[in-house]
Amino acid sequence: MKTDSSREKFLVLQISGWLLFIICIYGANVLMKKFVLEKKVSQGEKVEVVSTTKEKRTLVVEQDTTIVEDSPKTSKRNIVYDGMTLEELSAKLDRSLNSTLSGKGYLFAKTALELGVDPYLAVAIVLEETGCKWNCSGLVKQCNNVGGQKGGTVKCNGGAYRAYPTLDEGIIGFIDNLARNYYAHGLTTPEQINPKYAASKTWASKVNNYIAKIKAA
């Protein structure tokens, strides 16, 4: 027959055994989680951790185990032309457009890209043909004709040049003319456009000079 002392010793051993078992299970679980986390780190995966303040954060783990917090405010730049966004391109064009065309860089950029025309080239032709680097010509101010377009059903002051109801329509019409009558026929550079667009043999070099100035602006 077991004495009270023997029962107490047996009970203590039982409790100690269960505690040891629980500690082993917990330790194994911690080691397993650590192993999985280290494996994800080595593979460069994203892992989620919970800080002591219970705030969940997503961390980006690089191959060299450097941890960089993924910023929710970071947005990808939408590059549209020459390493620039549409807004950046518009601002660059605006720096070369003055007088009546001041602030029209966005319309030039957007329309040119939509129609597949080089925006630098489009603006350069306008600067050569109708000014606006400093002061736009009367053709722009009176008839909304940029680039010196001829033809059309509505004439500027009854002459050979075309007139548009609004300046925006004049800009869009000019770029559309380049797209349909030049780009569509493989004429995409000042040198190729020159014989059809202007009689002057130095026209292409002047347009190229403007292109260089626009790029540097």
Q: Are 68 and 75 in contact (CB under 8 A)?
A: no
Tell me how many helices (H) and strands (E) the chain has.
8, 3
**Distance between CA atoms of residues 26 and 20, nearest Å:** 10
Per-residue pLDDT tens listing for the chain (217 residues): 445 566 666 666 677 766 677 776 766 665 666 655 555 545 555 444 444 444 444 434 344 444 444 444 556 889 999 999 999 999 999 999 999 999 999 999 999 999 999 999 999 999 999 999 999 999 999 999 999 999 989 999 989 999 999 999 999 999 999 999 999 999 999 999 999 999 999 999 999 999 999 999 9
- Helix, coil or strand: residue 69: strand
In the prediction, which pLDDT does 171 show? 98
pTM: predicted TM-score of the whole model, two decimal places: 0.66
Q: Order of strands across the sheet with 67-69? A: 46-50, 56-61, 67-69
In the prediction, which pLDDT does 69 show? 45
Please name the residues in contact with 60: beta carbons below 8 A apart, sequence gap of 6 or more: 46, 67, 68, 69, 70
Torsion of CA 123, 128, 129, 130, to 10 degrees: 80
Q: Are 101 and 127 in contact (CB under 8 A)?
A: no
* Tokens, residue 58: 């997503």
In the prediction, which pLDDT does 28 show? 62
In the prediction, which pLDDT does 42 show? 53
